[in-house]
Amino acid sequence: MALEGKTAVVTGAAMGIGKAMTEILLQNGAKVVLLDVNATAGESLKEALNKEYGQKTLFLNCDVESEEQLKAAFQKAADTFGRIDILCNNAGILNEATWEKTVSINLMGVIRGSYLALEHMNKMSGGQGGVIVNTASMAGIGPFLSCPVYTATKSGVVGFTRAMAAASVASGYGIRFNALCPGFVQTELMSNIVDRLGRFSHLTDATHKLVEKMGVLSVSEVAECLLELVTDETKNGEALVVFPKGKKYVTFSSLLQ
Ligand SMILES: NC(=O)c1ccc[n+]([C@@H]2O[C@H](COP(=O)([O-])OP(=O)(O)OC[C@H]3O[C@@H](n4cnc5c(N)ncnc54)[C@H](O)[C@@H]3O)[C@@H](O)[C@H]2O)c1
Ligand SMILES: CCCCC[C@H](O)CC\C=C/C=C/C=C/[C@@H](O)[C@@H](O)CCCC(=O)O
């Protein structure tokens, strides 16, 4: 998929991985609507990006926990730029103490965002198709010992993405669904981890050892993988793992063999 003339919506776009995703989409010709709960960071990023790329971005203060706010944001995106072609469901938190909120943002936010975006993108109801990339995590593929709820949300995101990819093909939606599964990435989410492990704070040292063993990615390495999942029309229902040693499409075994 060529990005020139396309419109993307990125959740959790004000900082970290979402910010890098926004930048790479703009660099490749897309217009980008940034959604985030951090209005200060979002507005100032929008100002900076519009100076660099022209009036190609819009920031909307939007919480992915709110159906109403998300619905209004997609409508505003479509009204402003005429179409929605790409959705990056990226907003996420890691907090084992406030675990219900972790489920609400990381898993329910992805489902909510996908279903609302379908109203604009689905070829069966007047949309032009496109691609939805959900930010999962390496924890969505293998267990992250100190973060069982985070692991559960990311496994859920991988499962939801793969099932939606199959549903989309069978239903003629014209939308590809892929999951991006990074290892550890240098962002705000990684800081103060000790305060965020809740009942597993005794596993802080083990967490740090795992980080040391696996290494840490930059946000731009992750954004390059997003670009691949967006532009490569052959990718649907994929989970792309990226870690400092390289990237790999996950092979899932079939129960029917
Ligand atoms: N940092 C890592 O090591 C890592 C690794 C793999 C996957 N991830 C995933 O990548 C995604 C982005 O994480 P990050 O590391 O860039 O984190 P980050 O904390 O740097 O950025 C997250 C952004 O999401 C926004 N956000 C949080 N809650 C929101 C909500 N309810 N609605 C809208 N926006 C909200 C924040 O304001 C922030 O701008 C998350 O889904 C995370 O789970 C992160
Ligand atoms: C502390 C920051 C938290 C960031 C959360 C991110 O989503 C990153 C999660 C990254 C990795 C999770 C890894 C889980 C790996 C397991 O499957 C583990 O068994 C891998 C062991 C690797 C090894 O021992 O060689």
pLDDT, tens only, 44-68: 999 999 999 999 999 999 999 999 9
pLDDT at 134 over 80: yes
- Residue 224 within any structural domain of the chain: yes
Residue 140: give its domain's CATH number: 3.40.50.720
Is 175 within a domain?
Answer: yes
pTM of the predicted model as reported, rounded to 2 decimal places: 0.98
**pLDDT (tens digit, 9 = 90+) per residue, 170-182?**
999 999 999 999 9
- Confidence band (pLDDT; 50, 70, 90) for 254? confident
Whether pLDDT at 192 is above 90:
no
* 36 within ligand 1 shell (Cβ under 6 A): yes
Strands 239-243 and 7-11: what pairing?
unpaired
For residue 42, the ligand 1 atom closest to its alpha carbon is 39
Mean pLDDT of the chain: 97
In a domain, 201, yes or no: yes
Confirm whether 250 is domain-assigned: no
What is the whole-number distance in angstroms between the Cα of residue 86 and the centre of ligand 2? Answer: 28
217, pLDDT greater than 80 = yes
Render pLDDT for 95-111 as a digit per residue (tens, 0 to 9).
999 999 999 999 999 99
Distance 213 CA to ligand 2 centre (A): 10
Rounded to whole angstroms, the Cα distance separating 18 from 90 reads 6
Q: What are the b/e assignments for 34-46, b being 16+ CB within 10 Å?
A: bbbbbeebbeebb
**Ligand 1 and 15: CB distance under 6 A:** yes
- Burial (CB < 10 A; 0-12, 13-18, 19+), residue 65, is middle
Is 165 a domain residue? yes
Looking at the domain assignment, is residue 63 inside a domain?
A: yes
**How far is residue 199's CA from residue 148's CA, in Å, rounded to a whole number?**
10
- The whole-number pLDDT of residue 236 equals 98
Ligand 1 pocket, 140 CB below 6 A? no
Does residue 257 surpass a pLDDT of 80? no
pLDDT value at position 47? 98
What confidence score (pLDDT) does residue 255 get? Answer: 82
- Residue 2 in this model has a pLDDT that exceeds 90: yes
Query: Domain residues for 139?
Result: 7-243
Pocket of ligand 1 contains residue 11 by CB under 6 Å: yes
Q: How many residues does the chain have?
A: 257
Asked whether residue 2 is domain-assigned, the answer is no
Domain count, the chain: 1
* Residue 249 appears among annotated catalytic residues: no
Ligand nearest to the CA of 139: 2
Beta-bridge mates of residue 249: 240
Q: Is residue 225 part of a domain?
A: yes
Task: Report the SS3 class of residue 36.
Answer: strand
